Amino acid sequence: MAFCDLSAVPGAPASWALPQDFTCVFNWEFAPERSRLLGLYERGKTMQWNANDRIDWGQELDAENPLQLPPGALPINAAPCYQRLPAREQMEVRRQHQAWSTSQFLHGEQGALICASKIVQQVPDMDAKFYAATQVMDEARHVEVYKKLLEKFGVTYPMTPPLRSLLEQVLRDSRWDMTYLGMQIVIEGLALAAFARIRDEAQNPLAAAVNAYVMEDEARHVAFGRLSLRDYYPQLTAAERDEREEFLVEACALMRDRFDAMELWAHLGLPVGECVEHLHASGASAAFRTRLFTRIVPAVKDIGLWGERVQRGFERLGVLEFANVDIEALQENDLAAARDLEARQRYVRSVAAAAE
């Protein structure tokens, strides 16, 4: 069956055409050559991988709980409207929520692919163009793996409105740093926290591997955004930085709201108001919504957009406490987790092959 025929929403558009108006910059100096950015470029080149070789696509998802996640991963798990459903319907809601969530990962990855290629054209510095070129390849691979994973669900969902709205803002903006800020810092920072949940909690080996290997690459992408913006923002005026801070606070709120999944509950015929009210009030969902900011807040502090506007915004979101998270330690952990999982899966496969 063609991929577009898997859509849960009949008649969903097959493409999205967004007019662009920005300046593309050639650099004849081939400068600057910042060692940390070039180091990241070297890592980007040497750490490429082939999804067909590295992942065993013969593995299947579970029929009832595709990613084999714990019950609490469904944000309305304890809501009365969900609890009242017969077991069979509960299973279906869980399956659809996982397909919806994986669809958003796929759409976010295509957004990252488009944004990384926009950065290659827009950014004035050659070292940043070099690195962004490796990210384009990484993001193509991420689109590839989430598409393959989603095909195994047999059902897909369109892009959620909050993600679409932020992507549209970022892509329509002609300033190169806004692409970084929206994509590398906000969308990717939040995605990393969401991927981590699947990597660490999914018992399904295919889903865990896809998320771990994608995270291994994403750690470099967020580092790229931080290194580039950290050099750039001190050069801006206070008014220009204020404007970025305002955008940042709004973008964070928008991205947090995307996890409310309002259109999904409506599609499944569940009472949207009750579902959203529940997931805002429930301790487990609220903790997850807060954890989503673990990586964004320290990255924002690091790039120097740390004025009163941003701090107040993060305080309102209840996430200011993450300001002192050691983001480099988290990134090292992402690399180690991918290596460990790969070694474990290779061992399991070798034992199974020896037993045949």
Peptide bond connecting 80 to the previous residue in cis, omega within 30 degrees of 0: no
Cβ distance to Fe ion smaller for residue 109 or 260: 109
What character string, x for contact with Fe ion (CB under 5 A) and - otherwise, covers 288-327? ----------------------------------------
**Rounded to the nearest whole angstrom, what is the least distance from the CB of residue 345 to Fe ion in the complex?**
21
Cβ distance to Fe ion smaller for residue 127 or 139: 139
Cβ distance to Fe ion smaller for residue 221 or 244: 221
Residue owning tokens 């295509």: 110
Query: H or E stretch including 202?
Result: none
Structure tokens belonging to residue 85 = 């459903």
**Rounded to the nearest whole angstrom, what is the least distance from the CB of residue 81 to Fe ion in the complex?**
34
Q: Does 338 bind Fe ion (CB under 5 A)?
A: no
End-to-end Cα spacing for the chain: 33
Among 59-67, 141-149, 228-236, 279-287, which window interacts with Fe ion (CB under 5 A)?
A: 141-149
Cβ distance to Fe ion smaller for residue 252 or 272: 252
**Rounded to the nearest whole angstrom, what is the least distance from the CB of residue 142 to Fe ion in the complex?**
4
Cβ distance to Fe ion smaller for residue 76 or 251: 251
Q: Exactly one of 141, 142, 244, 301 binds Fe ion (CB under 5 A); which one? A: 142
For residues 150 and 156, is the Cβ–Cβ distance under 8 A?
A: yes
For residues 179 and 170, is the Cβ–Cβ distance under 8 A?
A: yes
Cβ distance to Fe ion smaller for residue 139 or 245: 139
Q: According to CB under 5 A, which residues from 216 to 245 bind Fe ion?
A: 218, 221
**Rounded to the nearest whole angstrom, what is the least distance from the CB of residue 188 to Fe ion in the complex?**
5
Running DSSP on this structure, what letter comes out for residue 180? I
**Rounded to the nearest whole angstrom, what is the least distance from the CB of residue 221 to Fe ion in the complex?**
4
Cβ distance to Fe ion smaller for residue 218 or 302: 218
Nearest 10 degrees: Cα torsion 104, 74, 71, 58: -20
Alpha helices in the chain (DSSP H): 35-46, 51-54, 80-83, 87-122, 126-153, 161-172, 176-179, 188-201, 205-232, 238-258, 262-267, 272-281, 283-291, 296-302, 308-317, 327-355
**Rounded to the nearest whole angstrom, what is the least distance from the CB of residue 195 to Fe ion in the complex?**
9
Single-letter residue type at 116: A
**Rounded to the nearest whole angstrom, what is the least distance from the CB of residue 141 to Fe ion in the complex?**
8
**Rounded to the nearest whole angstrom, what is the least distance from the CB of residue 199 to Fe ion in the complex?**
14
Determine the size of the site formed for Fe ion (CB under 5 A): 7
The helix/strand/coil state of 50 is coil
Cβ distance to Fe ion smaller for residue 245 or 334: 334
Running DSSP on this structure, what letter comes out for residue 181? I
For residues 205 and 196, is the Cβ–Cβ distance under 8 A?
A: no
**Rounded to the nearest whole angstrom, what is the least distance from the CB of residue 103 to Fe ion in the complex?**
15
For residues 119 and 171, is the Cβ–Cβ distance under 8 A?
A: no
What character string, x for contact with Fe ion (CB under 5 A) and - otherwise, covers 90-129? -------------------x--x-----------------
Q: According to CB under 5 A, which residues from 153 to 212 bind Fe ion?
A: 188
Structure tokens belonging to residue 109 = 């990855």
Cβ distance to Fe ion smaller for residue 93 or 112: 112
As a whole number of angstroms, the distance between CA 127 and CA 180 comes to 15
Binding region for Fe ion (CB under 5 A) = 109, 112, 139, 142, 188, 218, 221
